[in-house]
Amino acid sequence: METKKKKNNKKKKKSAILVTQYTEWPSSDDSSDNDYIPMDDSDEEQLVLRKTKRQRVTEDKTPVVHFSHINAVPIDVWVEIFSRCVELEGALPFLVRASQVCRTWYEASKCPRLWQNIDLTYGWIKSVDSTLKWLSKNRLLQCKSLNLSGWKNLTAEGLRAVALNCPNLENLDISNTAKKLQNEGINAITQNCPKLSTINLLDCKSLEKNHVPLESLLANSSNSLTHLTFGGIVVQQQKINELFNTQLINCHNLEVLELINISCTRLNIDIEKFQISLRKLSKLAIIKCPLVSPKVTKLQMEESAGFPMLKHLSLSLSDKNSVLTETAHNILKRLLKNSHNLEILELDQFCKITPEVINYVTSDKLKFLQLSRNAIIQDVSLVQFSSTLESLDLSDIVPRHRVNELLSGLVQPPGSQLSRLDVSNSQISLEVLQLLLKTLQHMKYLNISYCRELPRGIKRLHIDKEIQDLRKRLL
């Protein structure tokens, strides 16, 4: 019985194989075709000869060339080639992938010169101290810029390894890190990295109600510090005001200062002291901070030198009561003193925009202006910026119909260079939009989302060629 079952199984397997019913392929007869021309015997012989010749050619195999001479290329040459790739694509993950190709590439990828600007925020790498310790000892000996943003498991040990092995470190980003960092880690960086010039401490939880690491930073790096980003945490009001008005003003080479979302009752900054000490300041951003400043006399304001090098000013306040509006106007006036080189002004959710606020801007180089989420008072005009302004943000202004007056006065003078415009959630009229499309030939970015006064189908973001299509549709 078992032998019969096996035979049946074998038969089933054979029947499962697909075979044709013909032992030979059926011949096709072309004589029925209209264009059929019978061949002579001589033609058949030529065809056979041609076929045999072609077969002989294909059978000849060309010798395989082995590129063994590539291995003789010096490692220094590969390092130079890799350096060009690093400039275009970044060090990571290029160097890691290149090291897995061959032994020569592995040796070339280890060159510390290639590991100067490192971004370790990628998700494919383990953000733990052991990784950072190995890299700092074996790869980052000449590292100048290191980004550790988002490393929740970063502790003082990992940061200490960087401090001891990277003496040339200039740029460090430890934003959005947890409390495990502790004081010792930042202290090790400030004491062992004398060239440190840029540091990002935004949302660094180890500084939560802890001023010691910031005090160490301002004390040890006062001469080299040029860029400082700080905020996103709750601070001790008395300590932070003392540090800013006594130690921060000693950083005479500071060029960029960003204070973002600092939680305290009052952030008291002596503007005139800052203007005397921070002469090189080119960017100042104070966003969502309870900013106040001690009152000064008119004589003190006149004697102040202002910020002559300031090119970028960003102010954003959440409270909009009348007292804060007066205070905000006073602060803005003092900050813009002698800022004749200002190119970017961002007043997002700042205060009521009055003609006096516009007159505070004395620069004739303003290229970017943001007045979003503000109350625009009547008689405000932007005509003085018509020849230089390239980007304008009037989104969410109140009252929403004020956008028509501002834009009409802005584009009336000839020679407007405006290329980016955001008027989303406003009551821009179809007539004003048509005027903009006719006048502004350099427009590359137009956001008219949530503009209810416009026809359906166009209330969205338009970029580049879409603006040309919009012109054909409306003009």
The DSSP string of 258-320 is EEES-BSS-EE--HHHHHHH-TT--EEEEES--EE-----HHHHHH----TT--EEEEE-S--
- 293 domain-assigned: no
* H or E segment and range at residue 216: helix 212-220
Distances from the Cα of 282 to the Cαs of 243, 279, 340, 342, in angstroms? 21, 9, 12, 9
- Which pLDDT value is given to residue 40? 52
- 401 domain-assigned: yes
Tell me how far apart the alpha carbons of residues 427 and 425 are, in angstroms, rounded to a whole number: 7
Could you tell me the two tokens for 18? 């697909």
- 204 domain-assigned: no
Please say which residue of 114, 130, 150 terminates a domain: 114
Please say which residue of 85, 114, 143 terminates a domain: 114
- 94 domain-assigned: yes
- 151 domain-assigned: no
- 99 domain-assigned: yes
- 265 domain-assigned: no
- Which pLDDT value is given to residue 19? 37
DSSP summary character for residue 398: B
- Which pLDDT value is given to residue 407? 93
- 439 domain-assigned: yes
Q: 411 is in which domain, residue-wise?
A: 395-474
Please say which residue of 114, 147, 180 terminates a domain: 114
Burial of residue 279 (CB within 10 Å: 0-12, 13-18, 19+) is: middle
- Which pLDDT value is given to residue 321? 47
Which residue is associated with the tokens 């406003």?
426
- Which pLDDT value is given to residue 342? 97
Do 149 and 129 form a contact (C-beta atoms < 8 A)? Answer: no
Which residue type occupies 16?
A: A
> What interhelical angle do 182-192 and 212-220 show, nearest 10?
0
> Helix, strand or coil for residue 415?
coil
**Short-list 367, 471, 475, 369, CA closest to 423:** 369
Number of domains in the chain: 2
Which residue is associated with the tokens 């070339």?
108
- Which pLDDT value is given to residue 24? 41
Tell me how far apart the alpha carbons of residues 91 and 86 are, in angstroms, rounded to a whole number: 5
First to last CA, the chain: 90
Q: Are strands 312-316 and 283-287 parallel, antiparallel or unpaired?
A: parallel
Ranges of the chain whose pLDDT falls below 50: 2, 4-7, 10-28, 30-37, 41, 44-55, 57, 60, 320-321
Does the N-terminal peptide bond of residue 355 adopt cis geometry, omega within 30 degrees of 0?
A: no
Could you tell me the two tokens for 314? 């960003």
Which residue type occupies 345?
A: L
- Which pLDDT value is given to residue 356? 93
**Short-list 192, 254, 198, 202, CA closest to 223:** 254
**Short-list 241, 245, 251, 242, CA closest to 217:** 251
